[in-house]
Amino acid sequence: MIEERNEKDDVQFDEAHLREMLEAHDIDAFREEFLELHPYDQATFYEKVEPDIRKIIYSFLAPTEMADIFEAIEIDDDEYTAYLAEMEPSYGAEMLSHMYADDAADVLNELDTEQRESYLGMMDEETAEEINELLSYDEYTAGSIMTTEYVAIPENSTVRSAMTILRKEAPDAETIYYIFVVDEAHRLTGVISLRDLIIADEDTLIRSIMNERVVMVHAGDDQEEVAQIMKDYNFLATPVIDDKGVLLGIITVDDIIDVIDEEASEDYSKLAGISDMDKFDTTSLQAAKKRLPWLVILLFLGMLTANLMGQFEATLEKVALLAVFIPLISGTSGNSGTQALAVAIRGIATGDVEEHSKLKLLAREAGTGLMSGVVCGLIVIGIIYIWKQELLLGMLVGAALCGSILVATLAGSFIPLLMHRLKIDPAVASGPFITTLNDITSILIYLGLATALLSQIG
């Protein structure tokens, strides 16, 4: 069975055949084959074809069917504008109104104010109001990614009446695996799983079988914190409440997967010194615009390093061999700092680094840096002695390398912890900045020691 499934997975749909049916305007054959596909495959085909082919798709599919494709589509946020521009405004508005409210809000959030108001004006009042409420929340908060399509039942109802509510609301709900329980003021009081609801006696009161210990988040909570909570508890959905405990909506696991992917891409971009992750289909000009700001900043920091080396020009002139080991010391210390940076940022992202363990982390990294520095320093002393028969020079380079690795390791762990404490994204303490900082400190340590001992090694 597994082999048979994998063979089918290799070819999910016949793209050429679907194109032929569209170009021949064979609407019945296209709909029969296309609508049997999984929404992800439909979205994949939709993304691949040209705008003129997509316009035929709009004429073949109803807005409700197109809504399923838009919910499964995986494109950059700014591309939604281009796709909507291909549709008739009334078609696009109806499609958006049939999407889950949080997904529709995400799309509309990418439009300018005039376009957004235009689409909302073409929707029915209830749907527009629901989407507008989601648009009012700050970006990257729990409120901005929650959906208002969920099932809630009164705590004083019976299982029988709860099942009636569930059958009525389930078709429009994003998930029904968790049913949330509310009081008369719609405050969240408990949760019950679909399994427990099904197996319970029909005359049982909901309040007697619900779980009152509900893990919930507030609408203003950061989406990254929500993602961590859902990961820790393995939730499929998490309720969102306001300051009074009123249930506002839920966040489902598919939205959290998007958040994790988005946050990972953002952090990776910052660690690489890029304002936003490049896509393979971006132009050279677009990629350069994203990378140049960081490169210019690092260029000026690099000039600081060059100026610093100029202060030790006399030392380098007297012992030219010292310059040979500058890349070795700065490169090794940079690598050590980057290792510590990766450990610290991962600990912050996963929540492993709590307030009480930060000093412990710094102490551990200091010990690690010292041991690594001593080992690397001894190796360098031996190599330089065998290579140049210069024991004093080897000891100078070894001592500088040991000190640089220790400082770099501490900086790599301390800086992200400090930025996290100051409520700044630790990923901003990216590899290029740590490397530049380590270049400065390693040169200061190395050439400072050399200048102090110049009379002995000249």
Selected from 3.40.50.80, 3.40.50.720, 1.10.357.20, 1.10.10.10, the CATH number assigned to the domain covering 284-457 reads 1.10.357.20
* Closest by CA position to 178, among listed 142, 204, 143, 216: 216
In the chain, where does the domain assigned CATH 1.10.357.20 lie?
284-457
In the chain, where does the domain assigned CATH 1.25.60.10 lie?
13-136
Q: What is the pLDDT of residues 333-376, one digit of tens each?
A: 888 888 888 788 777 766 677 655 788 888 888 999 999 999 99
* Closest by CA position to 174, among listed 203, 145, 150, 141: 150
Please report which helix (H) or strand (E) contains residue 226, including its range. Answer: helix 223-233
**pLDDT band at residue 294 under the 50/70/90 scheme:** low
**pLDDT band at residue 327 under the 50/70/90 scheme:** confident
Q: What is the pLDDT of residue 295?
A: 64
Q: What is the pLDDT of residue 152?
A: 94
Q: Does position 268 have pLDDT exceeding 80, yes or no?
A: no
Which pTM value belongs to this model?
A: 0.63
- Rounded CA-CA distance 190/181 in Å is 5
Which two three-digit tokens encode residue 229?
A: 């909570």
Q: Does position 145 have pLDDT exceeding 50, yes or no?
A: yes
Q: Does position 276 have pLDDT exceeding 60, yes or no?
A: no
- Mean pLDDT to the nearest integer, 210-237: 92
Q: Does position 3 have pLDDT exceeding 50, yes or no?
A: no
Q: What is the pLDDT of residue 455?
A: 60
Q: What is the pLDDT of residues 80-101, one digit of tens each?
A: 888 999 999 999 999 999 999 9
Q: What is the pLDDT of residues 402-431, one digit of tens each?
A: 999 999 999 888 888 887 777 776 666 556
The HSE-up count of residue 91 (CA atoms within 13 Å, CB side) is 17
Cα-Cα-Cα-Cα dihedral sign, residues 34, 40, 43, 48: negative
In the chain, where does the domain assigned CATH 3.10.580.10 lie?
152-253
Q: Does position 278 have pLDDT exceeding 90, yes or no?
A: no
Q: Are 189 and 166 in contact (CB under 8 A)?
A: no
Q: How wide is the angle at C-alpha 80 spanned by C-alphas 115 and 60, nearest 5°?
A: 100
Q: What is the pLDDT of residue 2?
A: 36
In this structure, the strands spanning 247-252 and 237-241 are antiparallel
SS (H, E, C) 102-145: HHHHHHHCCCCHHHHHHHHHHCCHHHHHHHHHHHCCCCCEHHHH
DSSP 36: T
**pLDDT band at residue 198 under the 50/70/90 scheme:** very high
Out of 131-140, 270-279, 329-338, 368-377, least confident range: 270-279
Tell me the residue length of the chain. 458
Q: What is the pLDDT of residue 356?
A: 59
**pLDDT band at residue 9 under the 50/70/90 scheme:** very low
* φ and ψ of 146, to 5 deg: -80, 160
Q: What is the pLDDT of residue 139?
A: 86
In this structure, the strands spanning 217-218 and 237-241 are parallel
Please state, for a pLDDT cut of 90, what percent of the chain lies above it.
48
User: What is the average pLDDT value for the chain, to the nearest integer?
Assistant: 84
Q: What is the pLDDT of residue 286?
A: 67
Considering only the top CATH level, what class is 152-253?
alpha beta
Q: What is the pLDDT of residues 221-232, one digit of tens each?
A: 999 889 989 988
Out of 6-15, 175-184, 211-220, least confident range: 6-15
Tell me which CATH homologous superfamily contains domain 13-136: MgtE N-terminal domain-like (1.25.60.10)
Q: What is the pLDDT of residue 1?
A: 33
Please state, for a pLDDT cut of 70, what percent of the chain lies above it.
83
The HSE-up count of residue 160 (CA atoms within 13 Å, CB side) is 4
Q: What is the pLDDT of residues 28-52, one digit of tens each?
A: 999 999 999 999 999 999 999 999 9
